[in-house]
Amino acid sequence: MTGITEQQNSTSINIDQMNSDEILTLINSEDQKVPRAVNEAIPVITKFVDKVISCLEKGGSLFYIGSGTSGRLGVLDAVECVPTFSVPSTMVQGIIAGNKDAMFRSIEGAEDDKAAGERAVLEAGISDRDVILGIAASSTTPYVLAALKAAKQTGAFTGLLCCNEAQQSDFVDVLIPIIVGPEVITGSTRMKSGTATKLVLNMITTTTMIKLNKTYGNLMVDLKACNHKLWERGTRLVAHFTDLPHNEAGELLRNCDGEVKTAIVVHKLKISQDEARKTLKNALGSLRSVIG
Protein backbone atom coordinates (compact mmCIF):
# COMPACT_ATOMS: atom_id res chain seq x y z
CA MET A 1 0.00 0.00 0.00
CA THR A 2 1.34 3.45 -0.99
CA GLY A 3 2.12 5.64 2.01
CA ILE A 4 0.46 9.01 2.43
CA THR A 5 3.65 10.88 1.54
CA GLU A 6 3.70 9.18 -1.86
CA GLN A 7 0.03 9.66 -2.72
CA GLN A 8 -1.14 12.18 -5.33
CA ASN A 9 -2.77 15.33 -3.95
CA SER A 10 -6.17 15.80 -5.61
CA THR A 11 -6.06 19.58 -5.14
CA SER A 12 -2.90 20.03 -7.21
CA ILE A 13 -3.41 17.62 -10.10
CA ASN A 14 -3.63 20.52 -12.56
CA ILE A 15 -1.06 22.72 -10.84
CA ASP A 16 1.00 23.08 -14.04
CA GLN A 17 -1.96 24.86 -15.64
CA MET A 18 -2.31 27.44 -12.87
CA ASN A 19 -0.83 30.91 -12.82
CA SER A 20 1.71 31.93 -10.17
CA ASP A 21 -0.86 33.47 -7.82
CA GLU A 22 -3.01 30.34 -7.94
CA ILE A 23 -0.03 28.07 -7.26
CA LEU A 24 1.10 30.15 -4.30
CA THR A 25 -2.44 30.25 -2.90
CA LEU A 26 -2.73 26.48 -3.22
CA ILE A 27 0.61 25.84 -1.50
CA ASN A 28 -0.33 28.21 1.30
CA SER A 29 -3.71 26.51 1.72
CA GLU A 30 -2.04 23.11 2.03
CA ASP A 31 0.56 24.46 4.46
CA GLN A 32 -2.23 25.54 6.82
CA LYS A 33 -2.96 21.86 7.46
CA VAL A 34 0.45 21.40 9.09
CA PRO A 35 -0.08 23.10 12.49
CA ARG A 36 -3.40 21.31 12.89
CA ALA A 37 -1.71 17.97 12.32
CA VAL A 38 1.03 18.87 14.80
CA ASN A 39 -1.60 19.86 17.37
CA GLU A 40 -3.19 16.42 17.16
CA ALA A 41 0.16 14.81 18.01
CA ILE A 42 0.89 16.91 21.12
CA PRO A 43 0.08 14.06 23.57
CA VAL A 44 2.78 11.80 22.09
CA ILE A 45 5.21 14.71 21.64
CA THR A 46 4.72 15.45 25.34
CA LYS A 47 5.61 11.88 26.25
CA PHE A 48 8.79 12.11 24.21
CA VAL A 49 9.77 15.56 25.55
CA ASP A 50 9.34 14.49 29.18
CA LYS A 51 11.78 11.65 28.55
CA VAL A 52 14.24 14.03 26.88
CA ILE A 53 14.09 16.39 29.87
CA SER A 54 14.73 13.54 32.30
CA CYS A 55 17.60 12.25 30.18
CA LEU A 56 19.34 15.61 29.86
CA GLU A 57 18.94 16.34 33.56
CA LYS A 58 20.95 13.17 34.22
CA GLY A 59 23.73 14.13 31.81
CA GLY A 60 22.55 12.28 28.71
CA SER A 61 22.18 13.63 25.19
CA LEU A 62 19.46 13.99 22.57
CA PHE A 63 20.35 12.71 19.10
CA TYR A 64 18.45 13.36 15.87
CA ILE A 65 19.10 11.04 12.95
CA GLY A 66 17.71 11.30 9.44
CA SER A 67 18.52 11.51 5.75
CA GLY A 68 18.00 14.27 3.19
CA THR A 69 15.65 17.03 4.33
CA SER A 70 14.90 15.22 7.59
CA GLY A 71 18.57 14.90 8.46
CA ARG A 72 19.32 18.51 7.59
CA LEU A 73 16.50 19.78 9.79
CA GLY A 74 17.76 17.67 12.68
CA VAL A 75 21.28 19.06 12.33
CA LEU A 76 19.90 22.60 12.08
CA ASP A 77 17.88 22.31 15.28
CA ALA A 78 20.79 20.74 17.16
CA VAL A 79 23.32 23.36 16.07
CA GLU A 80 21.06 26.27 17.01
CA CYS A 81 20.70 25.07 20.61
CA VAL A 82 24.31 26.00 21.37
CA PRO A 83 24.18 29.80 20.93
CA THR A 84 20.51 30.09 21.92
CA PHE A 85 20.72 28.28 25.25
CA SER A 86 24.46 28.14 26.04
CA VAL A 87 24.53 24.35 26.06
CA PRO A 88 27.50 22.19 25.06
CA SER A 89 27.42 20.91 21.49
CA THR A 90 27.19 17.36 22.85
CA MET A 91 23.81 17.92 24.53
CA VAL A 92 21.78 17.94 21.29
CA GLN A 93 23.39 16.37 18.23
CA GLY A 94 22.28 15.85 14.66
CA ILE A 95 23.35 12.89 12.51
CA ILE A 96 22.65 12.84 8.77
CA ALA A 97 23.01 9.99 6.29
CA GLY A 98 26.02 10.69 4.08
CA ASN A 99 27.69 12.73 6.85
CA LYS A 100 28.65 16.41 6.52
CA ASP A 101 28.72 16.43 2.71
CA ALA A 102 25.01 15.59 2.72
CA MET A 103 24.22 18.94 4.33
CA PHE A 104 25.11 20.71 1.08
CA ARG A 105 24.38 18.19 -1.66
CA SER A 106 22.31 15.10 -2.22
CA ILE A 107 24.16 11.86 -1.44
CA GLU A 108 22.35 9.27 -3.51
CA GLY A 109 21.81 5.93 -1.83
CA ALA A 110 22.78 7.14 1.65
CA GLU A 111 19.26 6.67 2.97
CA ASP A 112 19.32 2.98 2.01
CA ASP A 113 22.58 2.16 3.79
CA LYS A 114 21.53 0.18 6.88
CA ALA A 115 25.12 -0.58 7.88
CA ALA A 116 25.94 3.14 7.89
CA GLY A 117 22.97 3.78 10.21
CA GLU A 118 24.25 1.17 12.64
CA ARG A 119 27.80 2.58 12.46
CA ALA A 120 26.53 6.10 13.13
CA VAL A 121 25.06 4.98 16.44
CA LEU A 122 28.27 3.23 17.49
CA GLU A 123 30.50 6.12 16.41
CA ALA A 124 28.33 8.61 18.32
CA GLY A 125 28.67 6.50 21.45
CA ILE A 126 24.91 6.39 22.02
CA SER A 127 24.08 4.53 25.23
CA ASP A 128 21.34 3.93 27.78
CA ARG A 129 21.89 7.49 29.02
CA ASP A 130 20.63 8.95 25.75
CA VAL A 131 17.51 9.60 23.68
CA ILE A 132 17.51 9.25 19.89
CA LEU A 133 14.82 10.54 17.55
CA GLY A 134 14.69 9.08 14.07
CA ILE A 135 13.24 11.49 11.51
CA ALA A 136 11.76 9.90 8.39
CA ALA A 137 8.75 11.41 6.61
CA SER A 138 7.98 8.06 4.98
CA SER A 139 8.57 6.13 8.25
CA THR A 140 10.48 3.50 6.24
CA THR A 141 13.96 4.97 5.61
CA PRO A 142 16.36 2.01 6.01
CA TYR A 143 19.26 4.12 7.36
CA VAL A 144 17.06 5.60 10.09
CA LEU A 145 15.35 2.36 11.10
CA ALA A 146 18.68 0.52 11.31
CA ALA A 147 20.04 3.29 13.53
CA LEU A 148 17.02 3.10 15.83
CA LYS A 149 17.38 -0.69 16.13
CA ALA A 150 21.05 -0.31 16.99
CA ALA A 151 20.31 2.46 19.51
CA LYS A 152 17.62 0.35 21.17
CA GLN A 153 20.14 -2.44 21.66
CA THR A 154 22.35 -0.04 23.63
CA GLY A 155 19.43 0.73 25.94
CA ALA A 156 18.76 4.21 24.55
CA PHE A 157 15.22 5.60 24.55
CA THR A 158 13.99 5.84 20.97
CA GLY A 159 11.42 7.84 19.03
CA LEU A 160 10.38 8.08 15.38
CA LEU A 161 8.98 11.27 13.85
CA CYS A 162 7.19 10.58 10.56
CA CYS A 163 4.36 11.80 8.33
CA ASN A 164 2.85 8.41 7.51
CA GLU A 165 0.51 6.14 9.43
CA ALA A 166 3.24 3.79 10.66
CA GLN A 167 2.96 0.69 12.83
CA GLN A 168 4.53 0.76 16.28
CA SER A 169 7.80 -1.19 16.29
CA ASP A 170 9.46 -2.98 19.18
CA PHE A 171 12.56 -0.80 18.73
CA VAL A 172 10.62 2.50 18.85
CA ASP A 173 9.46 3.65 22.29
CA VAL A 174 7.46 6.65 21.07
CA LEU A 175 5.98 6.96 17.59
CA ILE A 176 5.20 10.56 16.55
CA PRO A 177 3.10 10.55 13.35
CA ILE A 178 2.27 13.98 11.91
CA ILE A 179 -0.31 13.31 9.21
CA VAL A 180 -0.16 16.32 6.90
CA GLY A 181 -1.57 14.53 3.85
CA PRO A 182 -0.17 14.18 0.32
CA GLU A 183 2.28 16.83 -0.81
CA VAL A 184 1.41 19.50 -3.39
CA ILE A 185 4.13 17.97 -5.57
CA THR A 186 3.74 14.22 -5.14
CA GLY A 187 6.42 12.78 -2.87
CA SER A 188 8.19 16.10 -2.26
CA THR A 189 8.46 15.76 1.51
CA ARG A 190 10.65 18.87 1.78
CA MET A 191 7.30 20.71 1.70
CA LYS A 192 4.54 20.00 4.27
CA SER A 193 6.44 17.13 5.86
CA GLY A 194 9.54 19.29 6.18
CA THR A 195 7.51 22.11 7.71
CA ALA A 196 5.93 19.71 10.19
CA THR A 197 9.35 18.34 11.11
CA LYS A 198 10.75 21.82 11.74
CA LEU A 199 7.78 22.72 13.95
CA VAL A 200 8.07 19.57 16.05
CA LEU A 201 11.84 19.82 16.52
CA ASN A 202 11.46 23.45 17.60
CA MET A 203 8.84 22.36 20.12
CA ILE A 204 10.97 19.52 21.48
CA THR A 205 14.13 21.50 22.15
CA THR A 206 12.44 24.75 23.21
CA THR A 207 10.22 22.99 25.75
CA THR A 208 13.16 20.96 27.01
CA MET A 209 15.37 24.03 27.46
CA ILE A 210 12.63 25.93 29.27
CA LYS A 211 12.26 23.05 31.72
CA LEU A 212 16.06 22.98 32.14
CA ASN A 213 15.90 26.61 33.35
CA LYS A 214 17.39 28.12 30.23
CA THR A 215 14.84 30.97 30.22
CA TYR A 216 13.28 33.39 32.68
CA GLY A 217 9.69 33.59 31.54
CA ASN A 218 10.04 33.98 27.78
CA LEU A 219 13.42 35.74 27.98
CA MET A 220 16.52 34.00 26.62
CA VAL A 221 18.64 34.62 29.72
CA ASP A 222 21.05 31.72 29.26
CA LEU A 223 22.50 32.94 25.99
CA LYS A 224 26.27 33.35 25.75
CA ALA A 225 27.23 36.53 23.93
CA CYS A 226 29.53 35.54 21.07
CA ASN A 227 28.73 37.99 18.27
CA HIS A 228 27.53 41.58 17.94
CA LYS A 229 23.84 40.70 17.82
CA LEU A 230 24.06 38.49 20.91
CA TRP A 231 26.14 41.05 22.82
CA GLU A 232 23.44 43.62 22.13
CA ARG A 233 20.65 41.22 23.11
CA GLY A 234 22.53 40.21 26.23
CA THR A 235 23.13 43.82 27.20
CA ARG A 236 19.41 44.59 26.83
CA LEU A 237 18.57 41.63 29.05
CA VAL A 238 21.03 42.68 31.75
CA ALA A 239 19.68 46.25 31.62
CA HIS A 240 16.10 44.91 31.86
CA PHE A 241 16.80 42.94 35.04
CA THR A 242 19.15 45.39 36.74
CA ASP A 243 17.78 48.78 35.62
CA LEU A 244 21.34 49.77 34.72
CA PRO A 245 21.93 52.17 31.83
CA HIS A 246 22.76 50.40 28.58
CA ASN A 247 26.48 51.16 28.67
CA GLU A 248 26.84 50.01 32.29
CA ALA A 249 24.88 46.84 31.56
CA GLY A 250 27.21 46.13 28.65
CA GLU A 251 30.29 46.65 30.82
CA LEU A 252 28.90 44.31 33.48
CA LEU A 253 28.20 41.68 30.84
CA ARG A 254 31.76 41.97 29.47
CA ASN A 255 33.16 41.59 32.98
CA CYS A 256 31.13 38.39 33.30
CA ASP A 257 32.48 36.90 30.07
CA GLY A 258 29.23 37.44 28.19
CA GLU A 259 27.18 35.27 30.60
CA VAL A 260 23.83 37.00 31.03
CA LYS A 261 22.61 35.08 34.08
CA THR A 262 25.93 35.49 35.83
CA ALA A 263 25.90 39.24 35.23
CA ILE A 264 22.37 39.59 36.59
CA VAL A 265 23.15 37.61 39.74
CA VAL A 266 26.41 39.51 40.34
CA HIS A 267 24.50 42.79 40.32
CA LYS A 268 21.41 41.63 42.19
CA LEU A 269 23.18 39.79 45.01
CA LYS A 270 26.33 41.94 45.05
CA ILE A 271 28.59 38.89 44.83
CA SER A 272 31.57 37.86 42.70
CA GLN A 273 31.38 36.11 39.35
CA ASP A 274 32.53 32.81 40.86
CA GLU A 275 29.99 33.07 43.66
CA ALA A 276 27.26 33.90 41.13
CA ARG A 277 28.13 30.87 39.02
CA LYS A 278 28.15 28.63 42.09
CA THR A 279 24.80 30.03 43.25
CA LEU A 280 23.25 29.38 39.85
CA LYS A 281 24.69 25.87 39.74
CA ASN A 282 23.20 25.08 43.16
CA ALA A 283 19.84 26.33 41.87
CA LEU A 284 20.12 24.06 38.80
CA GLY A 285 20.54 27.15 36.65
CA SER A 286 17.20 28.69 37.63
CA LEU A 287 17.54 32.47 37.61
CA ARG A 288 14.02 32.78 39.00
CA SER A 289 14.98 30.67 42.04
CA VAL A 290 17.99 32.91 42.69
CA ILE A 291 16.55 36.39 42.22
CA GLY A 292 12.82 35.72 42.61
The pLDDT value recorded for residue 226 is 82
DSSP the chain: ---GGGSPPGGGTTGGGS-HHHHHHHHHHHHTHHHHHHHHTHHHHHHHHHHHHHHHHTT--EEEEESHHHHHHHHHHHHHHHHHHT--TTTEEEEETTGGGGGTS--TTGGG-HHHHHHHHHHHT--TT-EEEEE-TTS--HHHHHHHHHHHHHT-EEEEEESS-PPP-TT-SEEEE----S-SSTT-TTTHHHHHHHHHHHHHHHHHHHHTT--BTTB-TT-B--SHHHHHHHHHHHHHHH---HHHHHHHHHHTTTBHHHHHHHHHHT--HHHHHHHHHHTTT-HHHHH-
The pLDDT value recorded for residue 1 is 55
The pLDDT value recorded for residue 106 is 87
- The CATH class for the domain spanning 228-291 reads mainly alpha
The pLDDT value recorded for residue 224 is 76
* Ranges under pLDDT 70 in the chain: 1
User: pLDDT of 162-183, one tens digit each?
Assistant: 999 888 899 999 999 999 999 9
Query: Which active-site residues does the annotation give?
Result: 80, 111
The pLDDT value recorded for residue 35 is 98
CATH code 3.40.50.10490 for 4-211 = yes
Report pTM. Answer: 0.93
Distance CA 278, CA 283 (A): 9
Structural domain boundaries of the chain?
Answer: 4-211, 228-291
